[in-house]
Structure 1
Amino acid sequence: MDQPRLLDGRLKLRHLVLVDVLTTHGSVIAAAAALHITQPVATRTLRDLEAILGVSLYERGPRGVTPTLIGETFTRHARAVLAQLTQAGRHVTELADAHRGTVVVGTDPGGANELLLRAIARLKVERPQLSVVIRENAPEALSVELGAGRLDLIVGRRGLTVNESETQTPLYTEPVGVFARAGHPLALRPAVSFAELQTQPWVIPGVETGLRRDVEHLFARHGMPLPENRIEVTSPLAVRQLLHDADLVGLLPASVGYDDPGLCPLPIGLSVKNAITVTTATGRTASPGAEALITTLRELAVEQCHLPDALPRVTPSRAC
């Protein structure tokens, strides 16, 4: 593949868009439906692109298509180009009127934490004409969306592994505790062992959430499998409601559990912490609206003494 083949006028934006969608869906039929074009048009567009590049981008199979190594590489470049063009359009709009525009924020299910919601509320007071969109998805899917320019930033709990194309900025670290309803038998105990907790009915984070991996590691460190008697949910609010309604135990961020007078933290020490970060695409200039939201997030984190790598000041509001 040499440079003239990409700059001789044959390569069109529709080729890049198709590669992005086709790699995401793994099916020409699904990609055509997503782009609102017919399957023959999608097939012909792909064939034209492969002729321009002089290589095959996908392996065809009975259940769809799979990108080759070259296909995966070209997809990353295509998404980077589309992301830059998307950002360019937003920049033009927002530079013409800094109080307008759209910021798209990604977060894992249940990850729209209090700080993010408060930051959006404050930003809307300052910039009422700025639109803010929150999209929930699994961490891996959020990374794809960020790389493709469909997200401006990701706010929430992220893993320790950072992609080369991403930059993470810590906001604060919040402890996670084991909670139960105030009348739960274990809430009256002076101490609870992890072995006792493992036999209890649990509410644990769903596999789509970033916290799920830490829960699995927590049980693994104690040489125990996940509880068989369990309910899996993605939303902390759903966890809280279930703990209210039954004799269950579950993990909750301190800000959610301690603020609920109907719940009690169980007397057991955990090493699980909820690290909240802002993730942006490396090397991509943020739009004025996105920059404003990031600034507001950091301001609120400092105001609440939620400094990077420091535990928040959380005090139980009552005795259980």
Structure 2
Amino acid sequence: MRMKLRQIAHALAVSRHGGFRRAAEAQHLSQPALSRSIHNLEEALGVPLFDRESSEVTLTPYGEVFLRRAEAILAEAAELEREMSAMKGLGVGRLAVGMSVTAARLSGVRAMAQLLGEHPGLQARLETRPCRDVERRVRSRQVDIGFGEIGHLHDTPELEVEAVARHEMVFYCRTGHPLLDRDDALSHADLDEYPFAGIPIPFRLARLFPHNRHLDQDTGELFPPILVEDLEAACNIVARTDALGVAVPLLLEPWLQRGELAVLPFRRPWLRVDYGFITLASRATAPAVELFKDQVRELELEVVARNEALLEEVFQAAAPAA
């Protein structure tokens, strides 16, 4: 019995699309060519995979068993091809990176750009997603490496988690916000009086953020009353309302320089975010992944220094925290 990977892919396409015509279009084949491929596969197996007598092509009992394994076989074949390509070096290699939005803005995109500039033959794919999605993309092997917030990753032996940097964050508001006129130190109760605009908050930080939000029963994350995944959008909303936001101050620098946003005089040691790399422990590391990590590490040295300098500048100009 001899099967070819493309025949398995063709059978999977027929099952997914429920017929030969739509499957042939999806596989960029003529319908007769696809029919021959399936016929040859059934001849090799010695059993029919599809019932062609009904109006819609359906799986036979043999087909159901075969297709349960087909997707796993194709995924393993793709993984083997990826590892072999990685071993050949970066000239014809591939790299897929999933980044959180903040990680991408701080150093991730620049690291990818520098890597591609040094290795123009590298085929790359960059995804920016919420932190939880970055982890899921790594687990499902849809990206080679994740780069983002790692504070929620504990007791995960199936993952390799490597810390890269810790960035202090600040609460920010519009210029002229009522909280900026206070003579006394700000408290959590003061923040609770105003809506929070931003991304979902990890459960570990639940008690530390403004309380006007709700808990997601599926993920354990806390959703603010103004849910905004994009920092630019959050800054626009905060600049035009009494809502508060939180961010790494370096990403707010253009808004602060234009005088549209201000940093609240509320500084706490817990108000920080830990960033790092996320990979599968069982997955071979490609050379491109290691070089991407090197680029990020180098850039993050600069990012940390710039963020710390900006923090001192903005808090010198603000009222002292309690």
TM-score by length of 2: 0.66
SS state of the match for residue 112, structure 1? helix
Asked whether the 8 Å contact 2:9–2:74 carries over to 1, the reply is yes
The structure with more radius of gyration: 2
**Which residue of structure 2 aligns with residue 246 of structure 1?**
241
Q: State the AA in 1 paired with 2:98.
A: G
**Which residue of structure 2 aligns with residue 266 of structure 1?**
264
**Which residue of structure 1 aligns with residue 251 of structure 2?**
256
Alignment of 1:1-320 (within 5 A): 9=2, 12=5, 28=16, 36=26, 44=50, 51=62, 79-92=75-88, 95=89, 98-158=90-150, 159-161=152-154, 163-189=156-182, 190-205=184-199, 212-214=200-202, 217-220=204-207, 224-226=211-213, 230-257=225-252, 260-261=256-257, 262=259, 263-268=261-266, 269=268, 271-304=270-303, 314-318=310-314, 319-320=317-318
> How many residues matched?
276
Deviations 1:141-173 (A, max 9, x none): 444533454312111113223643321111101
SS state of the match for residue 161, structure 1? coil
Cα distance in 1 for residues equivalent to 2:304 and 2:224: 38
Asked whether the 8 Å contact 2:85–2:92 carries over to 1, the reply is no
Cα distance in 2 for residues equivalent to 1:203 and 1:152: 31
Cα distance in 2 for residues equivalent to 1:245 and 1:102: 43
- Following TM superposition, by how much is the alpha carbon of 1:198 offset from its aligned partner in structure 2, in angstroms? 1.4
Unaligned runs of 5+ in 2: 30-34, 39-48, 51-56, 215-222
Unaligned runs of 5+ in 1: 1-7, 22-26, 58-70, 206-211
SS state of the match for residue 196, structure 1? helix
Deviations 1:265-301 (A, max 9, x none): 2122362321111112223233332221111111222
Q: State the AA in 1 paired with 2:145.
A: L
Identity of aligned pairs, percent? 17
Cα separation, partners in 2 of 1:124 and 1:220, compared to 1, 3 Å = same
SS state of the match for residue 113, structure 1? helix
Asked whether the 8 Å contact 2:107–2:303 carries over to 1, the reply is no
Deviations 1:67-122 (A, max 9, x none): xxxx8xx9778645532323323544xx3xx3454322112355423111222233
Q: State the AA in 1 paired with 2:270.
A: S
SS state of the match for residue 302, structure 1? helix
CA RMSD of aligned residues (A): 4.4
Cα separation, partners in 2 of 1:270 and 1:184, compared to 1, 3 Å = farther
Asked whether the 8 Å contact 2:101–2:128 carries over to 1, the reply is yes
Q: State the AA in 2 paired with 1:36.
A: A
Cα separation, partners in 2 of 1:182 and 1:316, compared to 1, 3 Å = farther
Asked whether the 8 Å contact 1:255–1:314 carries over to 2, the reply is yes
Asked whether the 8 Å contact 1:104–1:153 carries over to 2, the reply is yes
